[in-house]
Amino acid sequence: QQQVKQSPQSLIVQKGGISIINCAYENTAFDYFPWYQQFPGKGPALLIAIRPDVSEKKEGRFTISFNKSAKQFSLHIMDSQPGDSATYFCAAPLCSGTYKYIFGTGTRLKVLA
């Protein structure tokens, strides 16, 4: 089965620092890459997403970098804040134009005050 491999499993960052979470995928047909943020006891919420026709997308302090040749994409959180402490999941559709998402195993981020 196709996989999305996410790392690191957990991450501790000082307030104001940069948090970087990486994902690698296998299926070259993937064409939509969302990142979800999940707080304890809550459902995942869409944070930011990118399509592979661009190499980078930025929304506020959150940036997705996409490397199509390496089949990798990453989430960068600039000026990390304690309120960013959550679990982050990358995801990709199983194949082009599909509804079936494959999720990474998640990264638990803790930002120290």
Partner 1 sequence: NAGVMQNPRHLVRRRGQEARLRCSPMKGHSHVYWYRQLPEEGLKFMVYLQKENIIDESGMPKERFSAEFPKEGPSILRIQQVVRGDSAAYFCASSSTGDTDTQYFGPGTRLTVL
What is the contact surface with partner 1 in residues (CB under 8 A)? Answer: 6, 31-32, 34, 36, 41-46, 49, 89, 93, 96-106
Output 69 or 100, the one with its CB closest to partner 1: 100
Output 16 or 39, the one with its CB closest to partner 1: 39
How deeply is 31 buried, as exposed, middle or buried, from its count of CB atoms within 10 A (0-12, 13-18, 19+)? middle
For the CA atoms of 86, 42, 64, 81, the dihedral, rounded to the nearest 10 degrees, stands at -30
Shortest distance (Å) from residue 68 CB to partner 1: 17
**What is the rounded CA–CA span in Å between residue 46 and residue 38?**
9
Shortest distance (Å) from residue 16 CB to partner 1: 28
Output 44 or 84, the one with its CB closest to partner 1: 44
Shortest distance (Å) from residue 10 CB to partner 1: 10
Output 3 or 67, the one with its CB closest to partner 1: 3
> DSSP code of 83?
G
Shortest distance (Å) from residue 47 CB to partner 1: 11
In angstroms, the Cα distances linking 67 to 72, 79, 111 are 5, 23, 26
Cβ–Cβ under 8 Å, residues 74 and 57: no
